[in-house]
């Protein structure tokens, strides 16, 4: 037990907290629909499909930016990239609060796609990996996700508090935007002053980057992880529709629905991520992910076979807690598969770019599809289609993880056979 906690002494906790706090705040603005879906429809005068298209535009730009972001993270200081990302996204939030029209919202979410991806995601993963040695990578990423969710919970409820200060839901929505923007700029300042300066590459590293690209592109670990995240992220993203499900089907108010969403999206996160990280270090990352996918499949099926209603609100909430714990366990340990799959540290940045381009591609289309489904059938039938999509995605993720696990076992056996042969010789 003591050695377990002693391992945390090897982790650069303060730097990880800054990373987790900024990462926890940066996605509130492009994902406002997660907690304020009904208010956005009302205040911005959008249809479900239009809101889906705005989200898909953001997703399209993130997909475009992930790969060059990985290349950039291997050449530029992560401190500079992360500080810029937090500050620029916060400034975009102030414009968001002016309640722009549909076209302006499309452009704004293109901008968010750049500031939360090109200059952010790969830099975050690289900076986190450097916060601890290889023996505690599961806990590093679990701690990153757990603290991120913990701080996101506080920030998220701060947004609900800001909303409650206003008269009317739309004015409250604007207050929440201002709140999230100020918090982001604060983390931008912290990142600039407290993250290390010299962890990026230089122009002299160009050949090394091509070598890293070759290593990453040829690595089965990179492609397996890309598809594992693709299917896991699809199922996780579709859980966003539990917010309108709770208000439209289960009868919650807008404020209660926002609170429900904060609990679902942020409060459960720390426990799920910490649990996933600790379990991964004990039973391997891939085995932990296999179990989490199974839980996600069962929980989504439960929503289909036990339709929601005001009378079943307790079941809806309980099932949500179990399902989101599994999802956050998955999210907390995604990138620990780099270590399990023996990917060289020098290829982390570019590998993250490849993985994220594949893994987060659902952002480019899933929201338009789901929004269109609910415009055609806003009742239980429409939500059941969404739940079936989540079931299918989780099954596919489970299959990919099992195949990855078999590959790792085979590779280790092969390496052991080589060592045995060399010893005997």
Write the DSSP assignment of 237-277 as a string of letters. Answer: HHGGGHHHHHHHTS---HHHHHHHHHIIIIISHHHHHHHHH
The answer to whether the CB of 143 falls within 8 A of the CB of 270 is no
* pLDDT tens sequence for the chain (425 residues): 455 455 556 667 788 889 999 999 999 999 898 888 888 988 899 988 899 899 989 988 988 888 788 778 878 888 899 999 999 999 999 999 999 999 999 999 999 999 999 999 888 988 887 776 666 666 777 778 778 878 888 898 898 889 889 878 889 899 999 999 999 999 999 999 988 776 655 444 444 456 667 777 788 888 999 999 999 999 999 998 998 898 889 888 777 887 888 788 777 877 888 888 888 878 888 999 999 999 999 999 999 999 888 889 889 989 999 999 999 999 888 888 888 887 777 777 778 778 888 998 898 889 889 989 998 998 899 999 999 999 999 999 999 999 999 988 887 777 666 666 666 65
The tokens describing 384, both together, are 């059941």
Cα–Cα distance between 11 and 272 in angstroms, integer? 20
Find, among 285, 280, 246, the residue nearest to 263 by Cα.
246
Q: What is the pLDDT of residue 392?
A: 97
Range of the structural domain that residue 172 is part of: 13-196+215-424
- In-domain check, residue 208: no
**CA angle, corner 338, sides to 334 and 340, nearest 5?**
95
Residue found by looking up tokens 């997909």 in the block: 63
pTM: 0.73
- In-domain check, residue 80: yes
Q: What is the pLDDT of residue 295?
A: 97
CA 97, distance to chain mean position in Å, is 24
Count Cβ atoms below 10 Å from residue 64 Cβ, excluding itself: 17
Look at the chain and report how many structural domains it folds into: 1
- In-domain check, residue 8: no
Q: What is the pLDDT of residue 50?
A: 92
**CA angle, corner 221, sides to 57 and 397, nearest 5?**
60
Q: What is the pLDDT of residue 309?
A: 87
Provide the CATH number for the domain around residue 248.
Answer: 1.20.1250.20
Count Cβ atoms below 10 Å from residue 169 Cβ, excluding itself: 18
- In-domain check, residue 224: yes
Q: What is the pLDDT of residue 418?
A: 65
Q: What is the pLDDT of residue 146?
A: 76
The tokens describing 164, both together, are 């409650």
The answer to whether the CB of 423 falls within 8 A of the CB of 247 is no
Helix (H) or strand (E) holding 197: none
- In-domain check, residue 405: yes
Q: What is the pLDDT of residue 251?
A: 86
The tokens describing 348, both together, are 């982390």
CA 62, distance to chain mean position in Å, is 12
CA 163, distance to chain mean position in Å, is 24
- In-domain check, residue 7: no
Q: What is the pLDDT of residue 263?
A: 82
Residue found by looking up tokens 């209603």 in the block: 309
Find, among 74, 186, 150, the residue nearest to 332 by Cα.
150
Residues in the chain: 425
> Hey, is 231 helix, strand or coil?
helix
Cα–Cα distance between 196 and 191 in angstroms, integer? 9
**Taking the chain, what is the end-to-end CA distance rounded to the nearest angstrom?**
41
> Hey, is 398 helix, strand or coil?
helix
Cα–Cα distance between 423 and 18 in angstroms, integer? 47
- In-domain check, residue 201: no
Alpha helices in 74-205 (DSSP H): 78-96, 102-113, 121-129, 137-164, 169-194
Cα–Cα distance between 83 and 193 in angstroms, integer? 9
Query: 98: which residues sit within 8 A by CB, 6+ positions away?
Result: none
HEC sequence for 346-402: HHHHHHHHHHHHHHCHHHHCHHHHHHHHHHHCCCHHHHHHHHHHHHHHHHHHHHHHH
Q: In this structure, what are the phi and psi dihedrals at residue 97, rounded to the nearest 5 degrees?
A: -70, -10
Our separate counts of H helices and E strands in the chain read 20, 0
- In-domain check, residue 204: no
Cα–Cα distance between 400 and 44 in angstroms, integer? 40
Q: What is the pLDDT of residue 203?
A: 47
Q: What is the pLDDT of residue 351?
A: 83
**CA angle, corner 39, sides to 33 and 42, nearest 5?**
120
């Amino acid at each position: 037990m003591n050695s377990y906690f002693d391992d945390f002494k090897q982790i650069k906790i303060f730097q990880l907290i800054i990373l987790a706090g900024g990462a926890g705040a940066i996605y509130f603005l492009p994902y406002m629909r997660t907690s304020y879906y009904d208010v956005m429809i009302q205040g911005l005068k959008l249809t479900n499909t239009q809101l889906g298209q705005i989200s898909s535009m953001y997703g399209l730009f993130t997909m475009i930016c992930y790969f060059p972001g990985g290349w950039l993270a291997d050449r530029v200081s992560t401190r500079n990239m992360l500080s810029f990302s937090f500050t620029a996204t916060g400034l975009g939030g102030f414009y968001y609060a002016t309640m722009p029209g549909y076209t302006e919202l499309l452009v704004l979410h293109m901008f968010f796609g750049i500031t939360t991806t090109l200059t952010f995601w790969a830099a975050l993963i690289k900076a986190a990996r450097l916060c601890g040695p290889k023996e505690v990578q599961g806990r590093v990423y679990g701690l990153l996700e757990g603290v991120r969710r913990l701080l996101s919970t506080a920030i998220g409820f701060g947004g609900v508090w800001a909303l409650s200060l206003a008269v009317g839901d739309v004015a409250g929505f604007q207050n929440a935007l201002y709140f999230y923007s100020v918090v982001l700029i604060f983390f931008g300042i912290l990142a600039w002053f407290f993250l290390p300066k010299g962890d990026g590459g230089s122009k002299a590293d160009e050949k090394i980057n091509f070598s890293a690209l070759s290593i990453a592109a040829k690595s089965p670990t990179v492609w397996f992880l890309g598809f594992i995240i693709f299917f896991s992220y699809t199922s996780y993203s579709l859980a966003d529709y539990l917010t309108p499900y709770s208000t439209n089907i289960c009868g919650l108010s807008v404020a209660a629905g926002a609170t429900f969403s904060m609990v679902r999206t942020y409060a459960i996160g720390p426990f799920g991520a910490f649990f996933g990280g600790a379990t991964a270090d004990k039973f391997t990352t891939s085995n932990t992910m296999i179990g989490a996918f199974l839980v996600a499949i069962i929980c989504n099926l439960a929503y289909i076979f036990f339709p929601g209603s005001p009378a079943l609100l307790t079941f809806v909430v309980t099932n949500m807690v179990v399902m989101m714990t599994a999802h956050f366990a998955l999210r907390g340990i995604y990138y620990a598969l780099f270590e399990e799959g023996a990917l060289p540290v020098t290829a982390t940045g570019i590998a993250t770019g490849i993985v994220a381009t594949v893994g987060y591609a659902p952002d480019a289309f899933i929201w338009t599809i789901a929004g269109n489904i609910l415009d055609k059938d806003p009742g239980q039938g429409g939500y059941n289609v969404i739940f079936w999509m989540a079931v299918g995605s989780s099954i596919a993720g489970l299959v990919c993880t099992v195949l990855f696990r078999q590959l790792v076992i085979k590779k280790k056996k092969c390496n052991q056979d080589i060592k045995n042969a060399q010893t005997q010789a």
